[in-house]
Amino acid sequence: MRTLFIDREVLSYDEVKKIADSLLAQTPIRPKLGIICGSGLGALADIVEDRTVIPYEKIPGFPVSTVPGHEGKLVIGKLKGKEVVLMQGRAHCYEGYPPQKIAVPVRTMKMMGVQILFVTCAAGGINDSYQVGDIMIIRDHINLAGFAGINPLVGMNDNRFGERFPPMSDAYDRQIRALAKAEAKRMGLDPFVREGVYSMMVGPNFETVTECRLLRLVGADATGMSTVPEVLVARHCGMRVFAMGLISNLVISEYDVDEKANHEEVLETGQKRSKDLQNLVAAMVEKLDLA
């Protein structure tokens, strides 16, 4: 097969299948739902029962998280009686991983039987009406990293994973977003729940003031350093996707002010909102049809 330079990071269909089979051999659970926990949001794993926990280091081919707030464990078990596989933390491109490597856990989940993927992240609020602690249901994204060629689908395409040119106009499942809004309302969380557009920069630095202003101009409501590669790969392999970002901080969009974005605030906000996120995810999972 002709190789592009990134192909050394692309695990083949058979290699991913091998990882999935070895994980399934360690548990009686057959997950249909996958969940990825963003920065400081790993407490979602606390509501998973009957669990098998496998550190990413023990899974050959998995990218290992290196940043605080990402435990780096795969948790397989039951949530509200439904069989799930949850990633307690993720790896990011800014840690030095090519996006093709970020794709590995998502494709592994698909081969384990996952049909629906929930993705969570921490994000900086750009929309003027957003406040720290808001939960933004992601309606669409802007793949700014993709504008610079950083896209996990770049490289030879194996049609067994998915088609060469996947559409992305319907990336975020309308029905599941409606379910999230309905459940948030029922639980009285609606004053904090928004729906908006997420933009992905690679990071690891937070944005400059002018970058924030640019992002606002192009229609982004919140910005982060993850989620998009996972969503692209999940849609490529035919999963339904739901994603939400916790507005962990507000971006700095005024020149010459003293405030600065920082990772400590991101983790603190995650802790404060962790119960609400757990409850919202649990309520949604209870109602999801995972036949």
Ligand X SMILES: Nc1nc2[nH]cnc2c(=O)[nH]1
Ligand Y SMILES: O=P(O)(O)O[C@@H]1C[C@H](O)[C@@H](CO)O1
CA gap 75, 48 in Å, rounded: 8
Partner whose binding site includes residue 201, from ligand X, ligand Y, none (CB under 5 to 8 Å by kind): ligand X
Of the candidates 152, 161, 155, the residue with the CA atom closest to the CA atom of residue 108: 161
Report how far residue 169's alpha carbon sits from residue 113's, in angstroms, rounded to the nearest whole number. Answer: 24
Active-site residue 200, yes or no?
Answer: no
Catalytic residue among 70, 123, 200, 284: 70
Q: Which of 120, 15, 18, 34 is nearest to 76 (CA)?
A: 34
Active site residue 249: yes
- 90 interface partner picked from ligand X, ligand Y, none, CB below 5 to 8 A per type: ligand Y
Residue in the structure block whose two tokens are 């290699």: 15
Rounded distance, CA 37 to CA 88, Å?
A: 5
236 labelled binding-site residue: no
Q: Does 225 bind ligand Y (CB under 6 A)?
A: yes
CA angle 273, 275, 280 (to 5 degrees): 95
Give the number of residues written for the chain: 291
Shortest approach of ligand Y to residue 25 CB, angstroms? Answer: 29
Tell me: does residue 73 bind ligand Y (CB under 6 A): no
Is 94 part of the annotated catalytic residue set? yes
Paired strand residues for 117 = 34, 241
Closest Cα to residue 133, out of 284, 275, 281, 269? 269
What is d(CA 277, CA 123) in angstroms, rounded to the nearest whole number? 14
Comparison of 29 and 121: residue with beta carbon closer to ligand Y:
121
Q: How far is the CB of 133 from ligand Y (least distance, A)?
A: 15
Among 26-34, 47-55, 160-168, 222-230, which window interacts with ligand Y (CB under 6 A)? 222-230
In sequence order, the β-bridge partners of residue 245 are 121, 136
- Active-site choice (12, 15, 43, 94): 94
Size of the site for ligand Y (CB under 6 A): 13
Q: Which of 109, 114, 122, 231 binds ligand Y (CB under 6 A)?
A: 122
- Of the two residues 127 and 227, which places its CB atom closer to ligand Y in the complex? 227
User: How near is the Cβ of 159 to ligand Y at its closest, in Å?
Assistant: 30
Residue 172 annotated to the active site? no
Flag whether 230 is marked binding. Answer: no
User: How far is 57 from 63, CA to CA, in rounded Å?
Assistant: 8
Residues near ligand Y (CB under 6 A) are: 38-39, 67, 90, 92, 121-122, 203, 224-226, 263, 266
Active site residues: 39, 70, 92, 94-95, 122, 225-226, 249, 263
**Known binding-site residue numbers:** 39, 70, 90-92, 122, 207, 226, 249
